[in-house]
Amino acid sequence: MPEDEEKIQRNWLVSVPVVIAFIITVFGYNYIVKPDTTGLIIITSVFGFLYIFAFLLLSYKGEGSMLYGLHSISSRLPSVKKPDGHVHFRTKMIWLVLILTLYFVLTNVMIYGLDQQKTVDLFESYRAIMAGAQGSLMHLGIGPIVTGSIIMQLFVGAKIIKLDLKKDEDKAVYQSVQKLLVVIMIVVEAVPQVYGYLTPSKTFEGSMNALSPGNGANLAKFMIVLQLCFGSYLVFLMDEVVSKWGIGSGISLFIAAGVAESIFTGTLNWMPASAGPLSYSNPPSGTLPKTFYYFTTLSSQQMTSGGYERILIMPPNPMIALASTIGIFFFVTYAESCRIELPLAHEGARGARGRYPIRLIYASNIPVILIAAVLANVSMFSMLFWSNDFFMNLPIVGREGAYSISPWIGYYSGTDTRPAGGLAWYLHSINGIGDWLLPFFSASYITPGKALWQVVIKIFVFLGVMIIGSILFAKFWIETTNMGSEAVAEQIQDSGMQIPGFRRDPRVLKRVLDRYIPVVTVLSGAIVGGLAATADLIGTVGSTSGTGVLLAVGIMIQTYEAIGREQMMEMHPMLRGFFGGE
């Protein structure tokens, strides 16, 4: 891999069409949209960065993938240094606790200058899996990181980007470019939210106007964008610290922490659901306090005429949601214990035997994170298009032919961040039985403007997208993380182990593993996708969504097992090579 810009071979003639394309784009946008000065500066900066990246990619003419052309930028981004040798188990646990503590602290550090009363959370329905907190430095959560990972996986998995992740150089390029893509996605997600839904306070605008008269509002928004970018990149660095110096994945750790907090408050919170004193229509928001409140304050007649209905199925946090959450916990725990164990024997040490486990949930919970992130971005951009009339300025026949397809993509009602129609409505997560089962019994529960047959289609579309999307991402994830049959066969071969009764050859091992890994990959993707969607249909406590509960349970189980492996490697250093340790 090239070590600096001077060693990268480039075709500088590519700069000519790139510059021409940039000029045409900026002038064309200015002619069609006619933005103000601030808008023109923002758009020019965005397109400028995009065309610089295009030049760096297209002008590279050395060996290997074109992504090597981005090395001059991606290699200079701040990152966490990888440890030179083995990190002691106690040190890893200390880093794990410190990063988790820092995460909770940052979720309570509010963005300076933001009007919290006017803030609209585009990720409200997906907040549990975005691992963030509304209006804080963690507002974007892990969204940019996951989106960047999705894009890289799709391009590598589809062979659009030709990288061999078994080679150290290609793997380093993959990781550095993914880091660069995360930075881009931070800006892509931060700017539209600040200029549409995160409103600066009048006081902050006034102080900024004192620094730059006439530009106080734009300068205030720019400062909020910087805070969002800082917080999001800090999340990325925290994830690197956990991955390199701790145990497991920082992203998974943040998701589990956020979901656990939501489940705890959704189950035990005694505060009323809305502002005001406790009453029949404004009970405690937690499942158990709400149940206790109704049983101790309502008569038997009141309970039979509506009290049991409120306890069992009516939001917030009904008992059926608590039962669903507990059911997911036990099901995931059982599924994680289901596995096929291939017997292994060491070639040189007689009597040394082991097993290679192939879990039923082989692709873990990563596919659900990825498909949920895709749906969250669909929801976010559909609301952006709708609220800003994005498509109103796209000409078909001159300016007279301008039209809008944003209602087809998704439209909303009032300040609600849940789509009320369009494609986004069919793809949006279902929030408990009130969204799909109760409409079959009473038309009052049906979304205004929708028919019962549309509710049925929404159920099948949502289930299909979650299951099929999880299967596809499971296959991509297995191939890009060296968990496929060929990669596992080489790992077993390099560790000195073999399957008894078979010739010690990676090709033979691959044929044996091909009987299990491809099938289990599809099954694991379908199971986690279907389970998450089903849990959304039933509902969960704390508004965590079925995906969030599924992820939290799986992450806690995997973290517990990872801690066990680390302790085992600490006691038996010879096992580090087999588990991929240092």
Q: What is the DSSP string of 507-542?
A: HHHHHHHTTTHHHHHHHHHHHHHHHHHHHHHH--GG
Percentage of the chain lying above the pLDDT 70 cut: 89
Q: Between residues 65 and 39, which one has the greater pLDDT?
A: 65
Confidence tier at 234 by pLDDT (50, 70, 90): very high
Judged against a pLDDT cut of 90, whether residue 582 lies above it is answered with no
pLDDT band at 7 (very low <50, low <70, confident <90, very high): low
Quick check: 529 pLDDT over 50?
A: yes
Rounded to an integer, the average pLDDT of 525-549 is 87
| Whether residue 294 has pLDDT greater than 90 | yes
What mean pLDDT is predicted for residues 494-520?
85
Q: What is the pLDDT of residues 9-34, one digit of tens each?
A: 777 888 888 888 888 888 887 777 66
* Average pLDDT score over residue span 403-427: 73
- CATH H-level superfamily of 316-582: SecY subunit domain (1.10.3370.10)
* From 276-285, 454-463, 566-575, the region with the lowest mean pLDDT: 566-575
Q: Is 145 exposed, middle or buried, given 0-12, 13-18 or 19+ CB atoms closer than 10 A? A: buried
pLDDT at 505: 82
Which residue did the predictor score with more confidence, 229 or 32? Answer: 229
Where exactly are the structural domains of the chain? 1-76, 86-246, 316-582
- What is the CATH number that goes with domain 86-246? 1.10.3370.10
Section 252-269 average pLDDT: 89
Which one, of 82, 81, 55, 59, lies nearest residue 11 by Cα? Answer: 59
Question: Smallest Cα–Cα separation from 336: which of 370, 302, 360?
Answer: 360
Q: Are strands 497-498 and 353-359 parallel, antiparallel or unpaired?
A: unpaired
Average pLDDT of the segment spanning 539-555: 84
Q: Which of 338-342, 384-388, 462-466, 529-533 has the lowest mean pLDDT?
A: 384-388
Whether the domain at 86-246 and the domain at 316-582 fall into the same CATH topology: yes
**Confidence band of 3 (pLDDT split at 50, 70, 90):** very low
What mean pLDDT comes out for the span 202-230?
87
Give me the pLDDT at residue 351, please.
58
pLDDT in tens, 338-389: 888 888 887 666 656 778 888 888 988 888 888 988 888 888 778 777 776 5
The pLDDT score that the predictor gives to residue 348 is 62
Residue 158 has pLDDT above 90, yes or no: no
pLDDT band with cut points at 50, 70 and 90 for residue 400: very low
Q: What is the DSSP letter of 107?
A: T
In this predicted structure, the answer to whether residue 396 has a pLDDT above a threshold of 60 is no
Query: What one-character-per-residue DSSP string does 193-258 give?
Result: HHTTT-PBPHHHHHHHHHHSTT-HHHHHHHHHHHHHHHHHHHHHHHHHHHHHHSSS-HHHHHHHHH
Q: What is the pLDDT of residue 36?
A: 62
Label residue 575 by pLDDT band (50, 70, 90): low
pLDDT higher at 34 or 96: 96
What pLDDT score was predicted for residue 34? Answer: 66
Is the pLDDT at 207 greater than 60? The verdict is yes
pTM metric for this prediction: 0.76
CB-CB neighbours of 556 under 10 Å: 18
pLDDT score, position 125:
72
Q: Does 495 have pLDDT greater than 50?
A: yes
Is the pLDDT at 290 greater than 90, yes or no? Answer: yes
